[in-house]
A and B are shown apart, each in its own frame.
Chain A
């Protein structure tokens, strides 16, 4: 059978088939009529499908949650990258920012591992950054892609001047810091393009920003800190309260105020001796 030489696409080789539970040497040959002969091709297809582990994953797979924004609205933690793949996977592009060898001194010489920085984004308001270190380059890149998908964040875009057309730049001046690197993003007029070093340029273009001025300070040669500082800066766009978000909301009473009558009636603090106030 071609099972031992199964293509790399099949997950979890079926070579370890055992047949039954129980102690070693027992419980074999008891699961009957398994029909492994049929649908061998079906098995490989099925194995590529994503099986959700968390409740959020199940909801996404069943189609109850249709967009990533609904997950962000309720601050639900995303723990499986299958969720992202399902929702926006088709428009997601990934790019390797840098692969660098990282060395550690051991008694037997130097141990080299590879660190991969990967940015993913759909050029329409979602971007993620992943960092992974591993002994092989391919493993590092694969792990970094997974981590980047898990760290996807929404970005708010705005206008530099007239509010004509679609938003094209950051809504206001934002800054982010990581390590010693401090990155500042400034709104730019339409048609400017992204004015920055190559690393943040890739991140910003994947985020969907068309125009932006940047200013960086610190040891920007440490690529990890530089990329993370930019990432922090663009994730702050949604936490900045701009005047157009000043919406008049009806004032509601605080619970203690609302139920003050009820509290007074039922929960008076008894047993407190009131000091007699002397009246002169």
Chain B
């Protein structure tokens, strides 16, 4: 269960606020599967919450279509705490015959569609299948299942401000290679060092004068902030990443605080919750609305029911739990003088 980690990256902007429940997207309006009449509201201030993103993530060996929706409150006191965030889960039984043209379950885990996936519309193909046409569709693709936008909800939500809707690109973490930038600069440094060393000593380049006395040195910053160092190292493989999906695995934490102790059990069935995905700081540039203080977090962890309880429901499940992890150095920003200075420079 923990072998594969998926990384989501914000992609191009969408032209309309609505898509289907099977689209991974940030911002816009949520695309529910079932009929939803009640706008999610914050448990602290009871105001209506704003839609952040939705993730279509069906589980293995499950006959359900499954989408998770994340909401957050608009007030600063609320979104800076776990209680101002909410995650909803919506499921629908899969109708096999209707899915045929769109999804073909592939048994090999690692091949990503050598021509057997018809993605309907799509941009340029991935490198393994070079024969896909480059098609860009601006209208909604035909859906065989009922995915029409819900008119009643649209009118009530249209008065609210939402984030600009964007798609999400998804990659396997194991396929990322670390970037090799600045190679030329390093080559210049090495050649400069070679010339200066040969001038001064006249013997071979990397002559270690006292090899035995130099030992391996631990990076001081790494020792002090081990968790942050690991976090930063993983994120720098693909700096723009906004979601890290690892169902049943462990979250990447920003600091050494122990988060797992405070996860409550599922509110509907009482079983324990399991980690599903986390939101990363790469998401923050996309959560921007003119005239408002932007949302801030270090990382947001989303836990859902480990038994995926559903029953025969027709409205989204609220049993998940969201943990808000602030920036680890937040206490330094609390001094009044600093905040005044920032306000003055911003103006």
Residues in A neighbouring B137, C-beta threshold 8 A: 33
Chain B residue, CB-CB nearest to A4: B127
Chain A residue, CB-CB nearest to B183: A8
B186 within 8 A of A: yes
State which of A19, A55, A58 has its C-beta within 8 Å of the C-beta of B119. Answer: A19
B291 within 8 A of A: no
Evaluate whether A32 and B23 lie within 8 angstroms (CB atoms) in the complex, with A21-B245, A76-B329, A137-B190 already known.
yes
Q: Which of under 10, 10 to 19, 20 to 34, or 35 or more describes the interface residues of B?
A: 35 or more
Residues in B neighbouring A222, C-beta threshold 8 A: 210, 213-214
**Is there contact, CB below 8 Å, between B60 and A24?**
yes
User: Considering the chains assembled together, what is the distance between the CA atoms of A114 and B243 in angstroms?
Assistant: 36
Chain A residue, CB-CB nearest to B111: A25
Stretch at the interface among A45-53, A184-192, A232-240, A251-259: A45-53
B residues neighboring A (CB under 8 Å):
4, 6, 8, 11-12, 14, 19-20, 22-25, 55-62, 66, 102-103, 105-109, 112-113, 117-127, 130, 134, 136-138, 141, 167-177, 179-183, 186-187, 189-190, 192-193, 200, 205-206, 208-211, 213-217, 219-221, 225, 228, 231-232, 235, 237-240, 243, 245, 247, 277, 281-282, 284-285, 296, 298, 327-330, 332-333, 335, 337-338, 341-342, 345-346
Distance (Å) between the CB of B191 and the closest chain A CB? 10
User: Considering the chains assembled together, what is the distance between the CA atoms of A18 and B168 in angstroms?
Assistant: 11
**Is there contact, CB below 8 Å, between A1 and B186?**
no
Residues in B neighbouring A1, C-beta threshold 8 A: 124-127, 130
Distance (Å) between the CB of A150 and the closest chain B CB? 6
**Is there contact, CB below 8 Å, between B240 and A36?**
no
Distance (Å) between the CB of A34 and the closest chain B CB? 5
Distance (Å) between the CB of A97 and the closest chain B CB? 9
Evaluate whether A94 and B189 lie within 8 angstroms (CB atoms) in the complex, with A31-B23, A34-B123, A133-B217 already known.
yes
Evaluate whether A74 and B12 lie within 8 angstroms (CB atoms) in the complex, with A25-B106, A55-B333 already known.
no
Residues in B neighbouring A219, C-beta threshold 8 A: 213
A203 within 8 A of B: no
**Is there contact, CB below 8 Å, between B58 and A26?**
yes
Interface 1/0s, chain A 1-23, versus B by CB < 8 A? Answer: 10110001111111111111111
State which of A35, A64, A100, A150 has its C-beta within 8 Å of the C-beta of B123. Answer: A35
User: Considering the chains assembled together, what is the distance between the CA atoms of A222 and B217 in angstroms?
Assistant: 13
**8 intermolecular pairs with C-beta atoms under 8 Å apart:** A1-B130, A31-B170, A54-B327, A77-B332, A79-B329, A96-B192, A100-B214, A131-B217
Evaluate whether A95 and B189 lie within 8 angstroms (CB atoms) in the complex, with A8-B183, A23-B59, A142-B182 already known.
yes
